[in-house]
């Protein structure tokens, strides 16, 4: 059984990993585009938009979860 005190920290770390992956993938997208594959880069950026759209909700939810009772 998961200790509920660990849940906010777990979610925070998962979010941090997600943001790090987003940054790394964006760098790869820029590299691909610079080498002439604009269509591939655009597709990657389109997929990364999902992360960006969910980022604010994730941050707000984590803030609520970390408020001490």
Q: Is residue 1 part of a domain?
A: no
pLDDT, tens only, 39-63: 988 888 998 888 888 888 888 887 8
The pLDDT confidence band at residue 1, using thresholds 50, 70 and 90, is very low
d(CA 63, CA 60): 5
The angle at the Cα of 28, spanning 62 to 32, to the nearest 5 degrees, equals: 145
pTM above 0.85, yes or no: no
pLDDT, tens only, 14-46: 889 988 999 999 999 999 999 999 998 888 899
Backbone angles phi, psi at 45, to 5 degrees: -65, -35
Domain of 12 in residue numbering reads as 7-63
Q: Is residue 2 part of a domain?
A: no
The pLDDT confidence band at residue 8, using thresholds 50, 70 and 90, is confident
How far apart are the two ends of the chain, measured CA to CA in Å?
A: 21
Q: Is residue 51 part of a domain?
A: yes
Q: Is residue 68 part of a domain?
A: no
């Amino acid at each position: 059984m998961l200790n509920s005190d660990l849940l906010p920290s777990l979610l925070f770390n998962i979010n941090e990993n997600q943001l790090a992956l987003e940054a790394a993938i964006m760098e790869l997208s820029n590299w691909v585009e610079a080498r002439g594959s604009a269509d591939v880069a655009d597709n990657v950026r389109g997929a990364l938009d999902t992360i960006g759209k969910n980022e604010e909700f994730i941050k707000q939810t984590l803030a609520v979860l970390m408020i001490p009772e």
